Structure 1
């Protein structure tokens, strides 16, 4: 199936972010995206009325993709899984996903623009819920998630990537196992 105009626009914006090699960071304009996607600027603005709307669209697309990948890795919706299985799905996804500079930029830009954090929170928060899990187990699950987060950031940026990412993934999954099987407390 041919991509929709909206998908073409988002793909063009991500391509531009991937190609950007400036030391000052990524700069995407409505003009550059319209040119890359083969649309006029008014044609692009029909789908994304402003640069912020375009950026939110990029983040929403990325968050949807992450949610889909985690669902595939976990084998079910987050509501149908234990906190431990949700975290296993996330760890496996974060440590095996093919990532790029653009992926990292799309995620990291939420730090500077709070409106860009919302799609991540809405799509991924359910994967990290730990209701009914004791304090020590929650700490282990958080450590596993942070391990996965650090690994994908290192892989996406190319800054200090793991020599053996599979071994790191196994250690992070071991933290999840320790949280589930070593947990002596049932509630916080």
Structure 2
């Protein structure tokens, strides 16, 4: 059993049944493996949640790196809209909702701080860059609570308007 398959099973379980259903036995069953197979990769429920959080961070970092743009904020903005449009919000919502434990969310807090500091000193207008990054966070939050709130046309308009706030 691959580690990624186990993380997928845990995320799907969270999405379908909520955080109270997230047990190692339920994840193993959902993944179609033995509990021992799951324990080989994740020795505790906390390790499993931490693995999901770390994967989300890695995937978003990769998405930002893949984008074109002459500043980090432009790449961050593009990555945000790709993530929102592709349904990746569901993953963020279920994973972060699974943990009431601040220790397990520490990697996400650290990533958030990094995403909001990254390259800020080299931005042509650091204040505008901060506004755009904060607007991206607001979009993530609102869209995770109501994914059907905005249609593709509105996303396109929002992205264009936020991009217009940035010099160049």
TM-score normalized with structure 1 length: 0.72
SS in 2 for 1:148: helix
Correspondent of 1:101 among 75, 84, 90: 90
Count how many residue pairs are aligned between Structure 1 and Structure 2. 160
Find out whether 1:9 has 2:6 as its counterpart.
Answer: yes
Matched-pair contact (CA < 8 Å) for 1:34–1:41:
yes
For 1:104-126, what per-residue CA distance to the aligned partner results, in whole angstroms no more than 9, with x for missing partners? 2324556x333333333555655
CA RMSD of aligned residues (A): 2.6
Matched-pair contact (CA < 8 Å) for 2:74–2:163:
yes
Structure 2: give runs of 5+ residues left out of the alignment: none
TM-score normalized with structure 2 length: 0.80
Matched-pair contact (CA < 8 Å) for 1:148–1:169:
no
In structure 2, the partner of 1:185 is none
Structure 1: give runs of 5+ residues left out of the alignment: 76-80, 182-188
1:133 shift after superposition? 5.5
1:91 shift after superposition? 0.9
Find out whether 1:166 has 2:156 as its counterpart.
Answer: yes
Find out whether 1:131 has 2:121 as its counterpart.
Answer: yes
Matched-pair contact (CA < 8 Å) for 1:17–1:102:
no
1:166 shift after superposition? 0.9
SS in 2 for 1:131: helix
Take 2:161 and 2:96, find their aligned partners in 1: how far apart are those partners? 24
Find out whether 1:26 has 2:33 as its counterpart.
Answer: no
Find out whether 1:54 has 2:48 as its counterpart.
Answer: yes
More helix by share: 2
Matched-pair contact (CA < 8 Å) for 1:104–1:156:
yes
Matched-pair contact (CA < 8 Å) for 1:18–1:101:
yes
